[in-house]
Structure 1
Amino acid sequence: MTTTAFRRGDRRISPVFLGIVAVTAVTGWAVWTGFAEQPGVAVFLFVTGAWVVSLCLHEYAHARTALHSGDLSVGEKGYLTLNPLRYTHALLSIVLPVIFVIMGGIGLPGGAVFIERGRIRGRWRHSLISAAGPLTNVLFAVACTAPFWLDALDGTPGAFRYALAFLALLQVTAALLNFLPVPGLDGYGIIEPWLSYGVRRQVEPLAPFGLLLVFAVLWIPSVNGVFFDVIDTVLRGLGVAPYETYRGQDLYRFWQ
């Protein structure tokens, strides 16, 4: 008997996602070659496109891990197609993270896909499902910074180098924020299966407000300064200088 999870259409890559990848590739080429008269516009489209691609892969990683852990319903829900419009919280998963990048240059984590946890057995599997998303951001950050720590950027156009540095900053911030053990974020999802039932019941009402709490705390100047000091330290360790990320952000926000 064929289940909905194994229909071919449930796993076919969405044309929407392929379109986003195409825009990212074309604008990346425009930044690299200097084809665009206004590099800031090309950098904006390239970084935004790559950021949305990483958000789609983040959610896909949650869904794919859940599929192999026993939740076959993720196929029927369209999570395996990489279509951002099929996510349970498209506003939280895609729209708000893009807005926060535009406003403040922070890779804000999005809302996770809906996983039917009752279908999954074993605490380690539950933790791995939650960890799969931010681990995708970690891998994306490694890929973005590899040319820096491999000293492979000789002759690279400055605009492309700075755009890549800013994209790396977004991935590092997203990974760090996602791993925070705050209700509603993936970091809490990793430790939640190991908490007592009583603690989980007490914390559960806070989950819808966890992301808002993180955002509010980051608006505190002293906290914001410490946070970005940590980000700069991580990026330095990966070969990316602070001025490169700042220059990339300046190009990205071309309207200023």
Structure 2
Amino acid sequence: MTPSDPSGALSERDARVLSRRERRVSPVFLALVALAAVAGWALLRGRGLAAGTATGLVVFVFVSAAWVVSLCLHEYAHARTALHSGDISVAAKGYLTLNPLKYTHALLSIVLPLLFVVMGGIGLPGGAVFIERGRIHGRLKHSLVSAAGPLTNAAFAVACAAPFWLGLLDGAPAAFRSALAFLAMLQVTAAVLNFLPVPGLDGYGVVEPWLPARLRAKLAPAAGWGLLAVFALLWIPELNRAFFDAVYALLGALDINEAEVRWGWDWYRFWDGAPGA
């Protein structure tokens, strides 16, 4: 326990120490980054991965670890923007450490998004960090806090796609190319879906501050169901087709073709015994 002055307040020095602890990158996050890096390197090198199941397992580890890393960055972006907008409580809650175990709802933050990927090949981050909105003043700041998460997914998608349009993957193993393409698709779907103005999603958080108070009150009870409602609607064939047509159009603009994404999905679901490449 750090010493404090007689009034019970932390000294300036102790406050600085506490601040450093609250912002220190978590070993859990660093382990996830290392896991994704090692699996990605194994795929890129392609050694000892001749068997389809072995390759699929490595693809699964690479994509899953990288996806959780992107979830951490998504939530960190919300928290960091909130911090600079006036909510200093995010530091004490551990949100700035990038530790997924510090999130408010581990089920919604990590388990459910991974389940979405396994079940439907869809990247959809769930609700996680708790922002004390009362500390933030100004509608624009509230909108920016909500937009920060999906904008991070969009940036992650561009980073995944960059090696494709820069021609850096010429001659790279098919499994690595397809895994990276599939990961880029998850980021695009996460950005697009999260920007939908549906209660419970970040897109609604962007527009909510600008809505009349009476309408906000009526829509508030739907926030807990918005995420699941969107996922359920995507099981309707016509809506699913229209959504993925739009996603693949965006990926095409990033020089990622649909075939490689589908191969990555096949590799990822290695337990089906159909690696697809």
What is the match of residue 14 of structure 1? 26
The 2-side partners of 1:44 and 1:67 are apart by: 34
What is the match of residue 164 of structure 2? 148
Note the residue ranges of structure 1 that are not aligned, 5 or more in a row. none
What is the match of residue 127 of structure 1? 143
The 1-side partners of 2:60 and 2:236 are apart by: 27
What is the match of residue 43 of structure 2? 31
Deviation per residue, 1:27-57 (Å, 9 max, x gap): 1111111134321111110010100000000
RMSD value over aligned CA atoms? Answer: 1.3
Q: How does 1:21-100 map to 2 (within 5 A)?
A: 21-37=33-49, 38-100=54-116
Aligned pair in 2 of structure 1 residues 27, 36: CA closer, same or farther (>3 Å)? Answer: farther
The 1-side partners of 2:158 and 2:231 are apart by: 25
The 1-side partners of 2:193 and 2:91 are apart by: 28
Q: Does 1:254 align with 2:254?
A: no
SS at match of 1:246: helix
The 2-side partners of 1:116 and 1:12 are apart by: 22
Q: Which has the larger radius of gyration?
A: 2
Identity %: 66
- Aligned 8 A contact 1:5 1:76 in 2: no
Q: Which moved more, 1:148-157 or 1:17-26?
A: 148-157
What is the match of residue 245 of structure 1? 261
The 2-side partners of 1:205 and 1:141 are apart by: 32
The size of the alignment, in residue pairs, is 256
- Aligned 8 A contact 1:4 1:73 in 2: no
SS at match of 1:58: helix
Of 118, 124, 130 in structure 2, the residue corresponding to residue 102 of structure 1 is 118
Q: TM-score, normalised by structure 2?
A: 0.90
- Aligned 8 A contact 1:5 1:75 in 2: no
- Aligned 8 A contact 2:106 2:128 in 1: no
Q: How many angstroms does 1:89 deviate by?
A: 1.3
Q: Which moved more, 1:94-103 or 1:55-64?
A: 94-103
SS at match of 1:249: helix
The 2-side partners of 1:36 and 1:128 are apart by: 46
Of 116, 120, 127 in structure 2, the residue corresponding to residue 111 of structure 1 is 127
Q: How many angstroms does 1:84 deviate by?
A: 0.2
The 1-side partners of 2:154 and 2:265 are apart by: 20
Deviation per residue, 1:183-210 (Å, 9 max, x gap): 0000000000101111110100110010
SS at match of 2:271: coil
The 1-side partners of 2:96 and 2:189 are apart by: 25
SS at match of 2:225: helix
SS at match of 1:223: helix
The 2-side partners of 1:231 and 1:4 are apart by: 45
- Aligned 8 A contact 1:180 1:186 in 2: yes
